[in-house]
Chains A and B, each alone.
Chain A
Amino acid sequence: MRYLPTSDAIRRDMLAELGLNSVDVLFDHIPEYCRLQRPLNIPTGRSEAEIIAWFQQAARDNAPGFTSFLGAGAYQHFRPTHLDQLISRGEWFTAYTPYQPEISQGTLQAIFEFQTMICQLTGQEVANAGMYDGSTALLEACMMAARVTGRSGIVVARSVHPQYREVLSTLTKPREFPIAEAGFTPDGRLDLAALKAAVTAETAAVAVQSPNFFGTIEDWEAAAAIAHAQGALLVAVIAEPVSLGLLPAPAAADIVAMELQGFGIPGGFGGPYAGIIASREKFLRSLPGRLVGEARDSDGKRGFVLTLSTREQHIRREKATSNICTNQALCALMASIFMATYGRQGLRELAQQNLSKGAYLASACQKAGLEVLFPAPRFHEFAVRLRRPLAAIEARLHQEKIIPGLSLQRYYPELGNALLVCATETIPRAGLDRLAALLSEV
């Protein structure tokens, strides 16, 4: 086996040093009924060339070379080529959690910089080193709000990503956190009157997404005022980090739960991604997940360490703020390199391009006679109503190698034949025109 650095001769020699004649002896203490008495029913080892060929075939059976207008929590942005080359250095991707800071300063400094950039983007005072993704970050943010307020009620906007809401519902069920939803208005924004009615003195967290699932931009201040009037915390959910290049920072929120996939993390059929939690300094001790802090060494030099770990499971066990034991470090690193590459001007320009492409496509759809559902200001994604169900026209679009967007039938049946469409900077004008034409033809 090509990965194993031990030859049969060395094995025999090592066994001899242990005074054993067979490796089987090392497994003798496993009771016999537990031992597998046959080879695993898995083919024997294959060459690298065969493995690559197998996966290439699998890739062809997906949708290589398609133009996709899918967003809905996973956004297609150009990934600078140096990004993958940098994270492919073995010192990054084959290292583990930096428990030994003296030989992990690279990872630790990168996380410290990451935390800083997240604070700069979100207008928050502290950010953790990462969560699994946006959906679980929302859950963790709500649980954090419950710890801070001593309450358990959660009010979540119906315009928050439906799968995020499903995760929230699954993982809060055992502890019976009551969850209420607040709907949206015909202009595609959170219904503030409904929100006000739903938030009570038992509410711990009010969760609002912007741009929301329909791509519409919400008003953080208005949502915060309603939450704070009842002593609840506002959890700002952000599924598209690129939007922060242009949209106001959610500084009015108490906790930010953000998905970072849009920052250079590949779509990859849904993962791995990375989420984050950012918040106010006064809630620091309630924060879940890892944190990196500045420290001085015995010579007075600046370095970085994992810190405040008394919040975490490996120290506090059942009293920890979360059971999480990862910070998706490599995905967070991708996001860091992406942020550092685009930087102060680039992120704004990138966001501006995405805003413009979305606006152009929406206007092209309208000109082609289609109904764009929500008039409120939006980022790069919007809902459009089709004359027929998507299923009826999908084959035709696939023939043209186009994935037109996401049917909202499963999640919002009340919107009829609505399609959620996203236009990022990666799609040239001709592609936008083509989609509008095809959608209006069928």
Chain B
Amino acid sequence: MAEINDNLSQPAGTRASRHLVQNEDLLFEVSSPGKRGYQLPDLDVPAAPLTAARADIPDFPELSELEVVRHYTRLSTWNYGVDTGIYPLGSCTMKYNARVNEHVTRIEGLGDGHPLQPESLSRGALRIMRLLSDYLLEITGMDAITLQPAAGAQGELTGILLVRSALAARGDRRRKVLIPDSAHGTNPATAAIAGYQVENLKSNPDGTVDMSSLDRQMTGDVAALMLTNPNTLGIFEEDIHRIADLVHERGGMLYMDGANMNALVGRARPGDFGVDVMHLNLHKTFSTPHGGGGPGAGPVAVKRELEPFLPIPVLTQKATLDYDRPQSIGRVRAFYGNFGMFTRALAYIMANGSDGLKQTTEDAVLNANYIRKKLEGHYTLPFATPSMHEVVFSDAQQAQHGVHTGDIAKRLIDYGFHPYTVSFPLVVRGALMIEPTESANRQEMDEFIAALRAIAEEARTQPELVTGAPYTTKIRRLDEVAAARQPVLRWKPKS
């Protein structure tokens, strides 16, 4: 894009600035034979022989410790994290990951605990799980909980298996799961893995569940409605009571995807509005770090009827482990789940307390509404319905100039921000899904708003500036189509 003026491609007076960035080759290219980054203690027992040992691990890296440290330090500087700045990825709840959470997780006796050590030597760990369970039950208004699922999607699967077992116990076998068109992709994928046919439920013009469609589709063959509330448009399902009643009257269960609980904590409880089973994402609402794409944790909370089916082992009220659960669906993961996320989430709840949790919810909702107000008109708001913790715009105005949500996102990087979620939810054409969370401060939000307004202006006056972005990053736009056509998924030595 030589024709683009460098002053324009590097917007002045914004959050972004140029900085020395190191190049770094692949580990295998930095490696050279005979280097080592480790030293083991001398072996104090005789070396045992092994017949049929492998000869070598060809091309495996060989680096000194310093080179390992520099490699991963340099790579890290090419990333953007919550610690870097506002990270408004809708639906992901990129909030502050407090350092004390990291600290307590690594305390000796916790961080190095073995999952199979005797219960008598695990009292502290079990107490952590009990207290976290109790707090999560209080926050959700549900009756019982399992912490075992490894992530949100595994929580969904666990929840749907619980529904399946509970219905079977009623002597009721059903074949379908209803899922709104605004749902996360994991919902239909989960229902399919759980052996159900997926039936799509259309949204109404408000962006919420269409009651007449629900009435028509909620037949005696539907096991569950999987609902996200607030939904992925950031809209609270105001008809939730009628929805729950209808599902229950027809013998089905209401599953709630708790991905958006950051809008509700301390303000509303799913257990009070008819939800039978739900999962929580500890890495969203409860601040455990996203880690570049995991690990997460997806506890599943249920109403009393589903309790007998919870995965084994079940943590009792006395913080002991109960394996004698004849109706249990079984285990969904080895050991007890992602325990390291339990300590972090508990530390988060303790630090906030009831007062801080409520304030957090209010700030998250206030921030999203502030951004909505300031960007309305500059971008098209597809639904006039009130927003909660996130707001979804469309690129309808910009698309007239050939500029799409993905382009705007790339241009936002030049202004120094991580983009919002692009092209999701699918019910909005060209969606810009913005979730500032409570962690965005006003000054940065104002800069973010100014950047998006400036980009809207650029889209009108110099669309090619936006469609060519980003300009300021270490690499430019990558050819993803070519990458998928002839995939190169590993390094190989030059032959």
Is A59 engaged at the interface, CB distance under 8 Å to the other chain?
Answer: yes
A267 to B488, CA, bound (A): 33
Is the CB–CB distance between A94 and B289 below 8 Å? yes
How close is A342's CB to chain B, nearest CB, in angstroms? 5
> Known contacts A96-B89, A318-B192, A353-B40: does B150 contact A133 (CB below 8 Å)?
yes
Which of A76-84, A196-204, A365-373 lies at the interface?
A76-84
A263 to B349, CA, bound (A): 31
Cβ 8 A contact of B351, one of A46, A93, A117, A299:
A46
> Known contacts A91-B79, A313-B186: does B112 contact A266 (CB below 8 Å)?
yes
Is the CB–CB distance between B295 and A328 below 8 Å? yes
Cβ 8 A contact of A293, one of B107, B112, B194, B483:
B483
Q: What are 25 inter-chain pairs, A to B, with CB distance below 8 A?
A: A3-B98, A35-B267, A35-B268, A36-B141, A55-B110, A59-B110, A65-B108, A95-B81, A99-B421, A100-B413, A102-B476, A106-B79, A119-B490, A130-B294, A173-B161, A266-B340, A297-B476, A315-B185, A318-B188, A318-B191, A325-B151, A330-B292, A356-B46, A398-B120, A429-B44
> Known contacts A271-B338, A319-B192: does B356 contact A45 (CB below 8 Å)?
yes
Question: Which residue, of A34, A76, A347, has the highest number of chain B Cβ atoms within 10 A?
Answer: A34
Which of B3-11, B392-400, B439-447, B453-461 lies at the interface?
B439-447
Is A349 engaged at the interface, CB distance under 8 Å to the other chain?
Answer: yes
Is the CB–CB distance between B238 and A30 below 8 Å? yes
Is A21 engaged at the interface, CB distance under 8 Å to the other chain?
Answer: no
- B333: chain A residues at CB < 8 Å are 132-133, 135-136, 167, 271
- A55: chain B residues at CB < 8 Å are 104, 107, 110, 128, 343, 347
Is A98 engaged at the interface, CB distance under 8 Å to the other chain?
Answer: yes
Is the CB–CB distance between B330 and A166 below 8 Å? yes
Is the CB–CB distance between A360 and B45 below 8 Å? yes
> Known contacts A174-B161, A297-B476: does B57 contact A272 (CB below 8 Å)?
no
Interface size on B, residues (CB 8 A): 196
Is the CB–CB distance between A43 and B112 below 8 Å? no
Is the CB–CB distance between A120 and B441 below 8 Å? no
Which of B31-39, B210-218, B246-254 lies at the interface?
B31-39
Is A252 engaged at the interface, CB distance under 8 Å to the other chain?
Answer: no
> Known contacts A34-B272, A314-B185: does B441 contact A6 (CB below 8 Å)?
yes
- A414: chain B residues at CB < 8 Å are none
Interface size on A, residues (CB 8 A): 193
Is the CB–CB distance between A33 and B112 below 8 Å? no
Closest A residue, CB atoms, query B45: A360
How close is B298's CB to chain A, nearest CB, in angstroms? 10
> Known contacts A58-B124, A116-B490, A269-B125: does B118 contact A403 (CB below 8 Å)?
yes
Is A186 engaged at the interface, CB distance under 8 Å to the other chain?
Answer: no
Is the CB–CB distance between B188 and A317 below 8 Å? yes
Is B293 engaged at the interface, CB distance under 8 Å to the other chain?
Answer: yes
Cβ 8 A contact of A115, one of B37, B123, B367, B490:
B490
Is the CB–CB distance between A14 and B413 below 8 Å? no
A315 to B188, CA, bound (A): 11
Closest B residue, CB atoms, query A395: B120
Is B236 engaged at the interface, CB distance under 8 Å to the other chain?
Answer: yes
> Known contacts A100-B409, A100-B418: does B478 contact A296 (CB below 8 Å)?
yes
Interface residues of B in 263-279 (CB under 8 A from A): 265-269, 272-273
> Known contacts A30-B236, A270-B337: does B373 contact A17 (CB below 8 Å)?
yes
How close is B300's CB to chain A, nearest CB, in angstroms? 13
Is B350 engaged at the interface, CB distance under 8 Å to the other chain?
Answer: yes
- A94: chain B residues at CB < 8 Å are 81-84, 87, 94, 97, 289-290
Closest A residue, CB atoms, query B60: A344
Closest A residue, CB atoms, query B346: A55
Interface residues of B in 469-486 (CB under 8 A from A): 470, 473-480, 482-484
Cβ 8 A contact of B410, one of A102, A171, A323:
A102
> Known contacts A169-B330, A323-B153: does B476 contact A110 (CB below 8 Å)?
no
A130 to B370, CA, bound (A): 38
A358 to B196, CA, bound (A): 47
A353 to B42, CA, bound (A): 9
> Known contacts A307-B484, A398-B120: does B352 contact A45 (CB below 8 Å)?
yes
A209 to B327, CA, bound (A): 29
Is B54 engaged at the interface, CB distance under 8 Å to the other chain?
Answer: yes
